[in-house]
Amino acid sequence: MSEVKRIVRKHEAKTMLGISHSTLHERINAGLIPPPFRLSGRAVGWYEYEIHYILAALAAEESDDELALVVNSLLKQRKDAWAALRR
């Protein structure tokens, strides 16, 4: 994992996506935005590139089903990155 990955916190993610707090959580629960990962006790965040992927899919007017596939792919990337570090 040689490249630097910027973390965005919840407020910045909401601003980037142009959505409210409740809409953010509705979309996470619907599988249309990846869930954040825990940074500390109460702090959570996303990789900035994940938010950009979601924005690109929204701009391309992808269906909710396609958006869910994007989210699943992003979550798989997180798991694969962790598995690669453990080797």
The DSSP line for 11-70 is HHHHHHHT--HHHHHHHHHTTSSPPPEESSSS-EEEEHHHHHHHHHHHHTT--HHHHHHH
**What's the pTM?**
0.89
C-alpha 52/C-alpha 39 separation (Å) is 20
pLDDT per residue of the chain (87 residues) written in tens, 0 to 9: 446 789 999 999 999 999 999 999 999 999 999 999 999 999 999 999 999 999 999 999 999 999 999 999 999 999 999 999 998
Query: Do residues 21 and 9 touch, judged by C-beta distance below 8 A?
Result: no
Tokens standing for residue 59: 């701009």
